[in-house]
Amino acid sequence: MTHAAAGFRHVSVQELTAYEGQEVTLKGWLYNKRGSKHLQFLMVRDGTGLVQCVVAADSVDVDAWRIAEEATQESALIVTGKIVADERQAGGVELVVSTLKLVGESVEYPITPKEHGIDFLMSHRHLWLRSRLPWAILRIRNRLIVAIHTFFQDRGFLQMDAPILTGNAVEGTSSLFELDYFDEKAYLTQSGQLYGEAMAMAFGRIYTFGPTFRAEKSKTRRHLTEFWMIEPEMAFFDLDMTLDLAEDLLVYMIGDVLAHCKEELAMLERDLAPLERVRKPFPRISYTEAVELLCSNETVDMLSVRIQALEEENAALAEELAANRKRYGQAKKSERRRLDAREIVIHRRTGEIAEALQNLPAWKASARSFKWGSDFGGSDETVLTWHFDRPIMVHRYPAAVKAFYMKRDPDDVRLAMALDVLAPEGYGEIIGGGERATDLVFLEEQIAAHQLPKEAFEWYLDLRRFGSVPHAGFGLGLERMLTWIAGIDHVRETIPFPRLMGRIAP
């Protein structure tokens, strides 16, 4: 729906091409400005996009010209003018200004259109949200949410909200945020799954979509203390049906984003090829096969090749840097700027390489010495996915590393009917789940073996006492999924206000 159709009194940047030749009014903020004595180019953003507004001194009144000259970054503006085609512009049009009003001034906006460090940006997250990359990422997040609801609703799933405050700790309290609930202990939820199982017995197929909290003291690019999880749960589903569903869901989500977020992905400079390769079928390998692959000579060779390539790149960059510095003395000012800019790029890349070269030998050792029966570490998952060109589905894990409610493999009782989906390009686990145990006595034994308080699980055990059926489900981490799709290197940029260990504001 256009702004006009929605009853708004001004148009959005997004729909400007439809107004070519007409006079329109835009309301937004000054993103950047370039100018000369009689001409100012205002880059104006309104939340839907960016457009260049051209102000000529001789075609606006004195007040408007002064505003154009004096407006600083992020000043709020109302701009009226004619939309004209211009090939040089990203959107194909620009606005030739006839009147200009200042709504709110902006003094010394801290985020300049240059380089900033992550600490500074995170401390100014409330303003950083206005920049291009957060804009692109959070627009894709919105599209993913729409796609997820559409996918499940089209397949007859009922969306349900699981409680956020819970009384029982499902898997140990070390990873739970504890709080006082009228003199009782309560926790912020770390999964809606048990409640989802109850709802699946009532509605057949359901999914939750809500916040999840983990108090793990993790400071890595894959962790948030507050993140959003989608957890489908299906009555009368076995492991294979669940693998099919997870595969269909991922293919649908990627396809939907590719269809609707071309501009955003381009802004992120995302290589689309790995996303376009996400088609059925995904490789399905058992945990045991994954362990064999991890310990294989093939893995050692692959990592050696990677290490060597990085060392060569590092040497080449060091050489270039030395050559540039030698040239710097005689260089003209404009060339010095180029050299400065190049030095920043080299600096950043050598930092990445140093980090990788520090990690890779340890990752290689970890993979080589991996023993059947342990759970995969972050590096093991990354190394595994480097062998494939699309997401991989790993199934049938050792029961010991999975939760108490997992169904055992009837062909091998050491195994749980669990599934993990690992994203390609080293993005790691995005889905975890499996088939749930149906047998009351087995579950009671597991609760005892895990030293969990049985009273707290009586309601859950009722689901087995009254018409227990095969059922299964999984959890999809929205931020990890989005990190992969956007091709960025940290989950913190995929949620408007990330909650991380050591950072609770803004």
Minimum distance from residue 182 beta carbon to RNA (Å): 28
Residue 204 or 211 having the CB closest to RNA? 211
Pattern of binders to RNA over 174-193, x per CB under 7 A? -x---------------x--
Q: Which stretch binds RNA (CB under 7 A): 153-161, 311-319, 353-361, 407-415?
A: 353-361
Binding of RNA by 225 (CB under 7 A): yes
Binding of RNA by 279 (CB under 7 A): no
Q: What is the DSSP letter of 484?
A: H
Q: Which two tokens stand for residue 500?
A: 């991380």
CA distance 261 to 52: 22
Beta-bridged to residue 374, according to DSSP, are: 372
Handedness of CA 130, 131, 132, 134 (dihedral sign): negative
Minimum distance from residue 140 beta carbon to RNA (Å): 16
Q: How many CB atoms are closer than 10 A to CB 502? A: 7
Angle at CA of residue 412, ends 406 and 416, nearest 5°? 15
Binding of RNA by 219 (CB under 7 A): yes
Candidate residues 5, 6, 9, 115; the one interacting with RNA per rule CB under 7 A:
115
Binding of RNA by 399 (CB under 7 A): no
Angle at CA of residue 298, ends 295 and 299, nearest 5°? 55
Residue 9 or 88 having the CB closest to RNA? 88
Total binding residues for RNA by CB under 7 A? 84
Binding of RNA by 320 (CB under 7 A): no
Q: Which two tokens stand for residue 195?
A: 């409640």
Q: Which of residues 467-496 bind RNA (CB under 7 A)?
A: 475-477, 479-480, 490-491
Residue type, 413: V
Pattern of binders to RNA over 33-62, x per CB under 7 A? xxxxxxx-x-x--------x-x-x-x----
Q: Which two tokens stand for residue 25?
A: 């009014």
Minimum distance from residue 388 beta carbon to RNA (Å): 17
> Do 393 and 419 contact (CB within 8 A), yes or no?
yes
Binding of RNA by 122 (CB under 7 A): yes
320 Cβ partners below 8 Å, 6+ apart? 342, 346
Residue identified by tokens 């770390």 is 190
Binding of RNA by 429 (CB under 7 A): yes
Residue 175 or 438 having the CB closest to RNA? 175
Q: What is the DSSP letter of 454?
A: G
Q: 434: alpha, beta or left, given left = phi > 0 and alpha = psi -120 to 50?
A: left
Candidate residues 131, 218, 296, 468; the one interacting with RNA per rule CB under 7 A:
218
Minimum distance from residue 13 beta carbon to RNA (Å): 14
Minimum distance from residue 466 beta carbon to RNA (Å): 27
Burial-class residue 332 by CB neighbours within 10 Å (0-12, 13-18, 19+): exposed
CA distances from 484 to 339, 371, 428, 497 (A): 32, 28, 9, 19
Minimum distance from residue 48 beta carbon to RNA (Å): 18
Minimum distance from residue 116 beta carbon to RNA (Å): 4
Candidate residues 130, 214, 260, 284; the one interacting with RNA per rule CB under 7 A:
214
Binding of RNA by 369 (CB under 7 A): no
Binding of RNA by 442 (CB under 7 A): no
Q: Which stretch binds RNA (CB under 7 A): 232-240, 308-316, 340-348, 459-467?
A: 340-348
CA distance 266 to 236: 42
CA distance 211 to 228: 4
Binding of RNA by 503 (CB under 7 A): yes
Q: Which stretch binds RNA (CB under 7 A): 180-188, 266-274, 277-285, 378-386?
A: 378-386
Pattern of binders to RNA over 136-175, x per CB under 7 A? -----------------------------------x---x
Minimum distance from residue 335 beta carbon to RNA (Å): 9
Q: Which of residues 190-209 bind RNA (CB under 7 A)?
A: 191
Minimum distance from residue 111 beta carbon to RNA (Å): 8
Residue 414 CA neighbour count, 13 Å, CB half: 6
Binding of RNA by 359 (CB under 7 A): yes
Residue 362 or 448 having the CB closest to RNA? 362
449 Cβ partners below 8 Å, 6+ apart? 404
CA distance 358 to 42: 45
Q: Which stretch binds RNA (CB under 7 A): 75-83, 142-150, 223-231, 435-443?
A: 223-231
Binding of RNA by 117 (CB under 7 A): yes
> Do 433 and 475 contact (CB within 8 A), yes or no?
yes
Residue identified by tokens 């040089």 is 88
Q: Which two tokens stand for residue 105?
A: 């001034």
Q: Which residue, 362, 256, 389, 344, is CA-closest to 307?
A: 362
Candidate residues 209, 227, 287, 397; the one interacting with RNA per rule CB under 7 A:
227
